[in-house]
Amino acid sequence: MPHTPEPDEDDLDWIAPTQPVFHVEQALLGALLLEPHRLSDVSGIAAGSFSTATHAALFAAISTLPPPDPAEHVKNTKWLDQVLAMSRQQARGLTPSYLHTLVQVCPWPRHARAYARMVEAEAARRRLQTAAERLIQTVDDASHPHPVEKVLAEADAITAVVDDIASRFPPRTGVLPRTAAPPPAITTDRTEAVEEEQLLLATATAHPADIESVRWLLPDDLTRPLHAGLWQCLTALARRREPVDPVTVLWEAQQRGLLDNASEPGEVLRLLAEPAGSVEHWGERALQRSLLATADHAGRRISAYAGDPANTPFQLVVGARRSLADISAVHTRWQHATGTVPPPRPRPAPATRAGPPTTTAAHAARAARAIR
């Protein structure tokens, strides 16, 4: 039976890699151990870019210690011993045999720059996935007193990660992620949302003049198809300046094909007959739920893209930016709903091209030149 060491054993040769990046990291570290001067060719990565604590500790030691004299390095292991000793401060199980393994598995030390670029790409993918998971967790955290602000802050954090990745990796062909986007998460308990949307519809039916004040609310913000359709009916009647009451809304719903076996006329009339509160309040509540649901779905899409190693860094950038654009669109409507729209940025004055002088003095100057 093969031996499976415990985590505390001082031999890391047993590690079974599951991703190609593990081999890439080994090749890079082997190149730097063989030819330490190759470190000057490596950029864009740090110890935190590596997928294991052992590799991170080794790279930190290689980056910290002064490089040895090349002629002396081929004669003795003094510098390698120093690297091993420093690395063991963070990776206790590191052994001389693992350093030997790294040296053996490196195909070409001169390819260190290419190996480092691969490590950088994989680290970017992990950073993006971590940021997306934080966004999802924030949406699910019902204890936060200001969920929208917290979620938007996490979305901004993802944007910063995406911008950093875009600055490191230039565009390439085939930019769309190949990963299928996951379906939106299904919320098991939507009782509160359903009740508040019913109050929104009933209150808007009782006070149709207030519908204009919530133009930022869209049918897709509501959780049930019937509610979304009834909101379309209400906004259409208000826009056409036609009478609005439960009966006229019911008739509009019939003409739009909203009534079926699951939506009896009596049920719709009862739904629209119990107003309470204000249209603005219930509309804002619906929009908040829509924003959080959009952020959750965007986070899950970005996490799925980043979880697929087949996607290139720029594919991740394109997919993430499209998902973040969905959040931004709802955020803009949220700003209008809450009166927090930022002031427009002042536009620079248009540049004017100098033309021929037109003043009286200019005409006199031209006449004087003509006389000469």
Give the chain's mean pLDDT.
Answer: 86
Sequence letter at residue 150: K
Give the pTM.
Answer: 0.81
Distance CA(201)–CA(230), nearest Å, equals: 7
Sign of CA dihedral 305, 311, 55, 43: negative
**11 pLDDT above the threshold of 50:** no
With cut-offs at 50, 70 and 90, classify the pLDDT of residue 360: very low
**247 pLDDT above the threshold of 60:** yes
**Tokens encoding 347:** 């536009």
Mean pLDDT of the 290-305 span = 96
Distance CA(196)–CA(277), nearest Å, equals: 10
Mean pLDDT of the 226-240 span = 95
With cut-offs at 50, 70 and 90, classify the pLDDT of residue 174: low
Sign of CA dihedral 92, 97, 101, 104: positive
State the helix-helix crossing angle for 112-140 and 20-34, rounded to 10 degrees.
Answer: 140
**347 pLDDT above the threshold of 80:** no
With cut-offs at 50, 70 and 90, classify the pLDDT of residue 82: very high
**361 pLDDT above the threshold of 90:** no
**130 pLDDT above the threshold of 70:** yes
